[in-house]
Amino acid sequence: MTAKSRFIDQGIQQYIIASTVREHPLLRELREETSRLPQARMQIGPEQGQLMALLAHAIGARRYLEVGVFTGYSSLAMALALPRDGYVLACDVSEEYTAVARRYWTAAGVANRIDLRLAPALETLKGVRAVNPAPFDMAFIDADKANVNAYYEACLALLRPNGLLLVDNVLWDGAVVDPSEDDADTLALREVSQRAGRDERVEAMLVPVCDGLLIARKREATAGEGS
């Protein structure tokens, strides 16, 4: 397995993967197919997929929201982790890349659990919230970085208390700690980590797995607070 991060020691990454990752054969096949695409680095690493599945199991997740599907590794990993009556709402804008995802969802027998919406994610999330759905147990943001803070707020509003909100790429190949990096994506990723760190609605931690994963637990509302 190939380590993904460019700034975490490669030997440590390989040790983690070799020691603990149990990758489903279809996830491995999807990862290998995606590795040949020009945008292959948009795919999460296998250790991150396993961590996300572990978190889903730990909280008994049944409803999962994903913003940014690409070729479907994370959505497949999560659909496999959910129970048979689980539900995945997957938001993306690319017919080309999600066509790859659909093939693997079907091969894994989980396509019936995944509701793919091809439209700008903020529009999709606004529409979902308008119909007052059952809350989601877990959400994962891995889409265009400039809008990450808007996705954070939209997903947090759709989560149940004690649900988990995950944000990918928050270390951005180390650019977030370089003061000379001031492009829109880097600034947005710095902001979302700082936002979560001071947000009284959540408890949060940034984990240096792959390209950095922000994990936030939505707190129970207390008297005088909204959810």
Number of H helices, E strands in the chain: 8, 7
Tell me what pLDDT residue 4 has: 64
Tell me what pLDDT residue 222 has: 54
Mean pLDDT of 81-92: 98
Q: Which domains does the chain have, with CATH numbers?
A: 10-37+45-218 (3.40.50.150)
Q: What percentage of the chain has pLDDT greater than the value 70? A: 95
pLDDT per residue as tens digits for the range 54-64: 999 999 999 99
Residue 8: pLDDT above 80? no
Tell me what pLDDT residue 227 has: 42
Distances (CA, A) of 14 to 17, 149, 195, 199: 5, 32, 32, 34
Q: What percentage of the chain has pLDDT greater than the value 90? A: 90
Tell me what pLDDT residue 10 has: 85
Separation between Cα atoms, residue 52 and residue 85, nearest integer Å: 18
Split at pLDDT 50, 70, 90, the class of 224 is very low
Split at pLDDT 50, 70, 90, the class of 19 is very high
What's the whole-model pTM score? 0.94
Mean pLDDT of 107-131: 98
Region of poorest pLDDT, from 1-10, 25-34, 84-93, 105-114: 1-10
Tell me what pLDDT residue 6 has: 72
Residue 53: pLDDT above 50? yes
